[in-house]
Structure 1
Amino acid sequence: MKLLARLSLAAFASLALAPAAFALPFTPDVEVRKITQFGGACAGCELSGRKMAGAHFTGADFARASLVGSDLRSVHFIGSNFAGANLSRADLTNAEVLGGNFNGANLASAKMANIEARGVNFTGANLSNVDMRGAEAEGAIFNRANLASADLTGASLHGALLRGANASKASFRGASLDGAQMSGDFSRASFRGASMNAASFGGGNFSGSDFTGADLDGAMLAGADLTGAKGLTISQLAGACADSRTRLPSGLKAQGCGRFSPPRPPAPPRAPAPTRRIVSAE
């Protein structure tokens, strides 16, 4: 005989995550199944430091919730909302986020290595000093996000939007940025060995950045500031285009964008439609 448990996020916040202050009455021959799937609303909840590794959340609302330092390793979030939530120093290593909303969330110094975050919305989020090495974030939206000193080494960012982002001193070493739109502050960032085919630099600040070994075939540098950029070569720029506003290191030049037909960038994946908000688990 099995005891089936159903729990909403509200109860989960106060009961399932709280330190045990009570014990269930002993019942012979009853198996208590660990609850690992949750759904519902927990807006503004205090969940800092909680251990939720491996849990599944579907249609959950964590808007403005506090999950500082929480253990979210290998967690699955489907159609969940974290707008304005505080996940600073949280561990989301190997997590899977489908159709997630982190608009304005605080993820400073969070561990997000190998996270699957395709099409996820990080608009205006604080991702400073975040560890996103090996992340799969194709089509993700980082517009106006703070990525200062973030580590995205080896990340897959095909078609990602980084308009107005602050990625100063960030590492994109070996990352895939094909078709990405990159305006904002990328000064002193590292793009060593990165693939940036058909990427748009759209007036961004790349001064002092390292492009050693980067692939810039089809890249559009119109209006970009690359003064003091390291590792740029004539052969790299041969497949890119620039305009009169583009600032390149001394002695380098690129063909004009008016005579240039860049390859079509890869289409970002479509985020799955959010499922129903309330989902209980057995």
Structure 2
Amino acid sequence: MKTLAAALTLAATVVSAAAPALAQSAGQIARVRGGAACAGCNLFQGDFSGLEARGINLAGARLRQADISLSVLSNARLSNTDMRDIEAYGAVLTGASLSGADLTNASLVGAYLNGANLAGARLSGANLSGAQLGSARGLTQGQLSQACGDEATVLPRGMRIPAC
């Protein structure tokens, strides 16, 4: 019985110690909502919808499951950012650096990505329906083949995207 109690106590300690590393940081989210740079910050599930923060530096940040719908983040530094499962409906990301960003399963429906650098970005399962990518930089057919879009998706000349 003592062994079981000790094991349960140890398990609870390990779980509670790991939780802060995975949880969002309310203070960091508030700073970004105010327009402050926050490279490497934990912004997990943060609501940034409608945010206007041109040129903001969020490189290396954890934005997984965050909402940046209708935000204006043109020329933002988002390289190597964890943006898995992000909601980015109508987001303005023109000229943004998304190199090395993980956009797996991201919803970029109607997003503006002209001039954005997508070199090395992971787009597996990303929905690019209606997105504007006509002048995106660093975008490859291999990336697009892992994403999906529709007839309204604007792509660089000669590129194709599977239908969603």
TM-score range (shorter-chain normalised) is 0.7 to 0.9
| Aligned-partner residue type, residue 256 of structure 1 | A
For the 8 Å contact 1:121–1:142, the answer to whether it is kept is: no
- Displacement after TM superposition at 1:97 (Å): 4.2
Aligned to 2:121: 214
Moved over 6 A (4+): none
Q: Per residue, is there more strand in 1 or in 2?
A: 1
Structure 1 residue corresponding to 2:84, chosen from 137, 153, 178:
178
Partner of 2:143, secondary structure, is: helix
Letter in 2 for 1:181: E
1:195: how far off? 0.4
- Show structure 1 runs of 5+ residues with no match: 1-95, 101-114, 258-282
Q: Which residue of the other structure, out of 134, 152, 158, is the alignment partner of 1:251? A: 158
Identical columns (%): 29
Q: Measure how far apart 1:126 and its partner are.
A: 4.4
**Secondary structure of the structure 2 residue equivalent to 1:236:** helix
**TM-score when normalising by structure 2:** 0.80
Question: Is the 2:57–2:77 Cα contact (8 Å) retained in structure 1?
Answer: yes
Higher helix share: 2
Q: Aligned runs of 1:196-215 on 2, under 5 Å?
A: 196-215=103-122
> Please, which runs of 5 or more residues in structure 2 have no aligned partner?
1-23
SS at match of 2:111: coil
State the TM-score, normalizing by the size of structure 1.
0.47
Larger Rg: 1
Structure 1 distance, partners of 2:104, 2:122, is 6
Matches of 2:135 and 2:158, distance apart in 1 = 12
Counterparts of 1:220 and 1:145, CA distance in 2: 21
Question: Equivalents in 2 of 1:190, 1:248: separation in Å?
Answer: 18
Among 20, 37, 41, which residue is 1:135 paired with?
Answer: 41
User: SS of the counterpart of 1:165?
Assistant: coil
1:237 aligns with 2:151: no
Length, aligned pairs only: 140
CA contact (8 A) 1:205 1:225 kept: yes
Alignment partners' CA distance in 2, 1:176 and 1:97: 15
Alignment of 1:1-282 (within 5 A): 97-98=25-26, 115=28, 117=29, 125-127=33-35, 130-182=36-88, 183-257=90-164
